[in-house]
Structure 1
Amino acid sequence: MEKGECKNVYKVYNKIGSWFAENRAADLVEKAYLNDILEHLPAGAKVLDLGCGDGKPILEYFIKHGINVLGVDASTQMIELAKANFPTTGFLLKDMRELDLEEEFDAIIAWHSFFHLPAGDQPNMFAIFKRHLKPDGILLFTSGTERGEVWSMNGGENLFHASLATAEYQTLLLENEFKLLRHKINDPDCGGANVWMAQYKPR
């Protein structure tokens, strides 16, 4: 595996995008968390989906509930698929680590995308999350349960994942003025995902 594919996993998705879209679970195991976000959203809310992939099923779920969503992904193939799936929705080809929009959102989702970033890049993301959220905005992301790296085969390609330790995420949330709402470790009802939901509470 080339070192660049550890640092820029989106390049792997440029190879396996179509395979991933066909094989990604579509049963919406994330639904309980997405519904939690919907309950927090004000009228006219806008959601930022970081690492949106082809838009299914998460971005699609919000659209069906009448929510305005901006999808962001660094993979050209995934963005092309997303645009084909949702031609009236806004999408941006961008590495989330370089995100600097002059806009704030009511919620940010980085579901099974944030954990593709190297551990060294993850702490800086919390300032980016903060900068793009309105006060009381919701952040939803998934991670590992301990500091380390994991590789998994997907579509014939080895995909990189990284995580910080639980205590590190807790500290980062606190330092960036987030209040932890939910933290579910290896949620059996959600494909074993380690889920974090926090609310931006600027002091």
Structure 2
Amino acid sequence: MILKPLDENLRAFFLNVMSEKENVYKSYDKIAEWFASNRPGQLIEKPYIDRLQLLLPNQATILDLGCGNGKPIMGYLLQSGFQVVGVDASEKMLDLAKQNFPAETFLLQDMRELQIGNKFDAIIAWHSFFHLPAIDQPKMIEIFANYLVPGGMLLFTSGSERGEAWGLNGGENLFHASLDSDEYRLLLQNHQFEIINHTVNDAACGNATVWLAQFNPQ
């Protein structure tokens, strides 16, 4: 059997799909203005953010990974008196964040290649971590641990079971991936996290699956 080379258009399509899968921030660059206008303004995440805040010292430092345009989560944390550093790989989203909060620190970085010179009291990766391919997610747990002080808190969202999915936003397909709950639990435990809360498909929070864990190195 002789295999024919892929048609150039088909090849370009597959390459584009792989790029969108591995680098979702490129899609966010295309829809930044649309996303800022259409993301619900109400803080449905508030119960989880409030619980996190109760576990932190006054004026704690927080790393918001995948901060987007900074609204509403980063804005709420700043209003609560916390010091927040925003990180996003989407240049367009970060431009909007800088307009919204010109006095704050923002870094254009891919969380998988994070380079920051200090550690934080908490890390939030809300609806950002789950855009990474499953193969990249285990390494991120180690990165989370590397950038937390002892006793630091980690808040992130995931899927509820292992798999991949695509969601249409602003005309762009956004990739999502998840491990299963037992895999996350084992990864967290292996990196010395104690799981404080794990809520699956919270209907009051857009069906988010939420993890809250504390870094307790021995």
> The TM-score by the shorter chain falls in which range?
over 0.9
In 2: Cα distance, 1:196 partner to 1:180 partner: 7
Q: Which residue number in structure 2 is paired with residue 195 of structure 1?
A: 210
Among all aligned residue pairs of Structure 1 and Structure 2, give the percentage whose two residues are the same amino acid: 57
Once the two structures are superposed, the pairs formed by residues 29-178 of structure 1 within 5 Å of their partners are 29-178=44-193
Pairs aligned (count) = 203
- Asked if the contact 1:138/1:197 (under 8 Å) is kept, the reply is yes
- Asked if the contact 2:118/2:147 (under 8 Å) is kept, the reply is yes
Deviations along 1:35-77, one digit per CA (max 9) or x if unpaired, are 1111111123100000000000000000111111000000000
Runs of 4+ deviating beyond 6 Å: none
Which residue type is aligned with residue 202 of structure 1? P
Which residue type is aligned with residue 38 of structure 1? Q
- Asked if the contact 1:70/1:91 (under 8 Å) is kept, the reply is yes
- Asked if the contact 1:100/1:128 (under 8 Å) is kept, the reply is no
- Asked if the contact 2:58/2:81 (under 8 Å) is kept, the reply is no
With the length of structure 2 as denominator, give the TM-score of the two structures.
Answer: 0.92
In 2: Cα distance, 1:171 partner to 1:24 partner: 33
The gaps in structure 1 that reach 5 residues or longer are none
Q: 2:43 aligns with which of 28, 40, 51?
A: 28
Which residue type is aligned with residue 50 of structure 1? L
Larger radius of gyration: 2
> Would you say 1:2 and 2:17 are equivalent positions?
yes
In 2: Cα distance, 1:64 partner to 1:109 partner: 16
